[in-house]
Amino acid sequence: MAFKPLTVNTPVGEKAHILAEDDAALYDGIFGEDCVLKLGEQFASKTISNNVIRVMDGVVVVGGHVGRIIKGDYEDMMIDNGIADQKRNDLIVARFQSGGTGGADTYSLVVVKGTPGSTAKDPAIVQEDLYAGGKRRDYPLYRVRIENLSVVGVDKLFKVNRNFKVLTEELDKTREKIDSVNKTLEERTNGKVKIYGDAEGGNIRITSPNGVIWEIDAYNDNLRVYCDDGSVSFNFLKDGTLNIADLVISSVRTRLSEFIGKIKNAAYCTVVNNATTTGAGTVLDGRMGKTLNDKIASVSTVANEDRLRLNKVEVNLSRATNTLGSAYGVTAKYRTNEYMTTVYFYGQHVGASMGAYQAIGFGALPAGKRPLNKIQIPCAGVAGLYMTVDASGMACLFNETPNTLSFGKTWVNGHLTFVN
């Protein structure tokens, strides 16, 4: 049966139909990643001694499978003694080991011991896709750095997942920032220019120094310019007709005489150079056009600045594909923007023999597009062979074992994404 119903009642006496992997599939879809939840002490660490790192309470999700140290409790992780004049990195990981569909699983915090040497390297861990049939997945929580006989540092490696409350708060803050952009126009004009929307469509409101309000809107799909008291109105209709204070002009030829007849009395009006006069029999001086134009120019300047800001964000998000190089049938490419970089490995490796901790390099990423620390994922076909990008930006295939690796043709496919 392909489809499996979960939240249904089954007949009395039938065996349980909801398994741990069913719940894990649901949680994996919700969280979308391995993480520690924002609860309790969130797996905070305390160094008790050179042999004990204490992990405090919290909840961890690995491949959708949930594990917990209950509130107020903790788990002590035992660290083996260091060696004089040697360095070593140990990893504290949350390890899920699948027992197969309906089988007995194991889930615990374990210490993966690193190899001592003149330089410290993180030990290899297994991170199989449990949803795709993988059996084991390690989620690194802490790196314990050991020099000589002492623990010199404990590095937090996990991500605390933001819950819905935090996401809602962040969305509210984003909405506030958007509102602040709109408010910026009003602030720069001391409230004299406002852009807003209502049931009539988009609106621009301009207020004179004396409080006279003009509006521009798209009422009934037409462009309308009017004084707030309704005494003056200009309507540019979508069919090309112009209506000026109840005078309709649809054709210059046929309506010119009517237009002249309507405006002839304006020749006897008093010319005023302000936006405050309300008396009858007055017309505006042409210099008022400059005053109104300056207001519009101010609005245009602010709008252009906002457009430039949005354009900068768009440019920073754009990504282009670049080739680092090829070797033995495998090509490494990368895509990058202002914030993140992804390195892609693809091709069928023709086979090689690689010495212990030897690398096959493809090229280095440019400065500013490199990870803070070395990152890597295993090559599926060759145990111990990893697709790697180190802190110098070098993309390579790396033998992470202390032995020589010899292998024939094998597909190398994968990608590594990191914050610049």
Residue type (1 letter), 39: L
Q: Residues 393, 336: contact at Cβ < 8 Å?
A: no
- Residues 317, 339: Cα–Cα separation, whole Å: 7
Q: What is the CA radius of gyration of the chain?
A: 35
pLDDT the model gives residue 251:
44
pLDDT the model gives residue 401:
95
Longest dimension (CA), the chain: 106
What is residue 365's three-state secondary structure? coil
pLDDT the model gives residue 183:
63
Looking from the CA of 214 toward its CB, the CA atoms found within 13 Å total: 16
Angle at 417 between CA 319 and CA 410, to 5 degrees: 110
Residue type (1 letter), 93: V
Around Cβ 111, how many Cβ atoms within 10 Å? Answer: 17
Looking from the CA of 340 toward its CB, the CA atoms found within 13 Å total: 7
Q: Residues 292, 234: contact at Cβ < 8 Å?
A: no
Q: Which two tokens stand for residue 96?
A: 């899920």
Residue written as tokens 């920073």? 316
pLDDT the model gives residue 411:
93
Q: Which two tokens stand for residue 395?
A: 């993309």
- Residues 38, 61: Cα–Cα separation, whole Å: 11
Q: Residues 363, 395: contact at Cβ < 8 Å?
A: yes
Provide the 8-state DSSP code for 333.
E
Around Cβ 33, how many Cβ atoms within 10 Å? Answer: 11
The overall pTM is greater than 0.85: no
pLDDT the model gives residue 241:
75
Around Cβ 201, how many Cβ atoms within 10 Å? Answer: 14
End-to-end CA distance of the chain: 46
Q: Which two tokens stand for residue 79?
A: 């660290």
- The per-residue pLDDT string of the chain (420 residues; one tens digit each, 9 = 90 and over) reads 588 778 777 888 888 778 888 888 888 888 889 999 999 999 999 999 999 999 999 999 999 999 999 999 999 999 999 999 999 999 999 999 998 877 899 999 999 999 999 999 999 999 999 989 899 999 999 999 999 999 999 999 999 987 777 777 777 777 776 666 556 667 767 777 888 778 777 888 888 888 888 888 887 778 888 787 665 566 777 776 777 765 555 544 444 455 555 555 665 678 877 777 877 878 777 787 788 788 888 877 877 887 888 777 777 777 789 999 999 999 999 999 988 999 999 999 999 999 999 999 999 999 999 999 999 999 998 999 999 999 999 999 999 999 999 999 999 999 999 999
Alpha-carbon dihedral sign for residues 26, 31, 33, 39: negative
